[in-house]
Amino acid sequence: MKTVDKVICPKWLIPVDSNESVFEGHAIAVDNGQILAIDTLAGIQSQYHASEFVELPNHALIPGFVNAHTHGAMTLLRGYADDLPLMEWLTDYIWPAEQKWVGDEFMEVGSDLALAEMIRGGTTCFNDMYFFPDIVARRAEQAKMRAMVGMIVIDFPTIWAENSDEYISKGLAVRDSMRHSTLINTAFAPHAPYTVSDDPLQRIATLSGELECPVHIHVHETAHEVDESVARYGMRPIERLDQFNLLNSNLIAVHMTQLLPAEIKVIAERGVNVVHCPESNLKLASGFCPIEKLLKAGVNVAIGTDGASSNNDLDMVGELRTASLLSKGVSGDPSSFNAHKSLEAATLCGAKALGLDHITGSIEIGKMADLTAIDLSDCATQPVYHPVSQIVYSSTRDQVSDVWVAGKRLLDNQNLTTIDKEKTLTLAKELGDKIKR
């Protein structure tokens, strides 16, 4: 009998597969961070001896959530400027605040606060776009969390870099420094078509192809963005990106609320990944991503929270419910973006968008044990007829009890194991008080 690191036995095992499977009486064996076996509990126990046996009698075990679009350290600007349209929110409040406050301390504390919030909400992997990606990478690695950090590029100078050449150079240095990490990956992260000019977009496209590196960008977020692009360049942003051969399977296109049928057809044909951020789009009145049309066209659609200053949380449980309900309302079809599809978008589709679906995003033999347990014994989720429906339509992130990344337990019965919660909260409050003054 083989000895393994752990066996996890939930009430319901939801692997997220094409059959929409839900297993009861099953368990998984985990060794060296990987899922070694999936079988009935009796089958697992007949083959493996576990150094640790984890019983989850009231829980659904799912793949960890993949938050496909974040600005992690913006947790420190949560509630700083609310109830405003996107461009006023950015230009009059957020960008000035960032110029004044963003630095090493801001990034360390803000990243830790974001990591703590995400882990407690069941997220095991996130795709970040913000300044100081070196600090984000270090904090995520220290917390033992999986991340894709963005090599940010924007036309104007910030505390991180002065010009596009420096942004790209410093980003590539971060990529090189993380090349041996098993948890950290990198993506080029040009902010948006309206903040990145032609030359850096062309260079990013070339480097992306040479390095087989994803490109993570806000695009078609608002009608204003599209109108401005037409006035400035004589074309819509999607068409402009196509000029640089950026419309391909490496592209992670965030928001996409303003799409024509022909554009949906093109991005489907090119394998572009779309990240839907419903709550941020609703709060900023940016528009509605046409999820149902994208799915019917065969587009891979993932889910992201956006930053905590425009959402105002990093809650993937709430986000996937909003995504499902909003799709039904926009499409007029109650079967649109059903519970299984929403859960898939928040897990496996996110991993696919990041190019990490061979590692994470589903519970499969050979993949890393990136797992989230949700306790469904709460009053709000009883009785349980269909556990996936209960997760999507009834549960809250407060019911997440345990989280593993590569087999390491980051949340143990709702207690963080790799982040000092009290210290993080104290430092965040102190910084918040400074910003408020």
The angle subtended at Cα 349 by Cα 188 and Cα 307, nearest 5°, is 55
pLDDT band for position 1 (50/70/90)?
A: confident
Instruction: Give pLDDT, residue 253.
Output: 98
Averaged pLDDT score across all residues of the chain: 97
User: What does CATH list as the number for 65-353?
Assistant: 3.20.20.140
Q: What is the mean pLDDT of residues 396-411?
A: 98
Instruction: Give pLDDT, residue 144.
Output: 98
- CATH 2.30.40.10: which residues of the chain? 2-63+371-405
**In three state form, how does the secondary structure of 121-161 look?**
CCEEEEEECCCCHHHHHHHHHHCCCEEEEEEEECCCCCCCC
Q: Residue 325: which residues within 8 A CB-CB, separation 6 or more? A: none
Measuring CA to CA, which residue among 34, 32, 15, 13 is closest to residue 24?
13
Q: What is the mean pLDDT of residues 243-258?
A: 98
Residue 150 has pLDDT above 90, yes or no: yes
Report the share of the chain in percent with pLDDT over 90.
Answer: 97
**Total residue count of the chain as it appears in this document:** 437
Residue 12 has pLDDT above 90, yes or no: yes
Q: What is the mean pLDDT of residues 351-375?
A: 98
* DSSP state for residue 76 in the 8-state scheme: G
Contact 26, 39 (CB under 8 A): yes
Instruction: Give pLDDT, residue 138.
Output: 98
Instruction: Give pLDDT, residue 62.
Output: 99
Q: Which residues does residue 411 pair with via DSSP β-bridges, in sequence order? A: 403, 416
Per-residue pLDDT of 88-134, as tens digits, reads 998 999 989 998 999 999 999 999 999 999 999 999 999 999 999 99
pLDDT band for position 436 (50/70/90)?
A: confident
The angle subtended at Cα 163 by Cα 162 and Cα 164, nearest 5°, is 145
Instruction: Give pLDDT, residue 274.
Output: 98
Q: What is the mean pLDDT of residues 382-409?
A: 98
Residue 42 has pLDDT above 90, yes or no: yes
Taking the C-alpha atoms of residue 193 and residue 209, their distance in angstroms, rounded to an integer, is 19
Instruction: Give pLDDT, residue 23.
Output: 98
Per-residue pLDDT of 304-313, as tens digits, reads 999 999 999 9
Instruction: Give pLDDT, residue 434.
Output: 92
User: In 3-state terms, what secondary structure has residue 80?
Assistant: coil
Element (H, E) at 400: strand 400-405
Q: What is the mean pLDDT of residues 28-36?
A: 98
Instruction: Give pLDDT, residue 209.
Output: 97
Q: What is the mean pLDDT of residues 323-327?
A: 97
Domain 2-63+371-405 has CATH 2.30.40.10: yes
- CATH 3.20.20.140: which residues of the chain? 65-353
Instruction: Give pLDDT, residue 437.
Output: 83
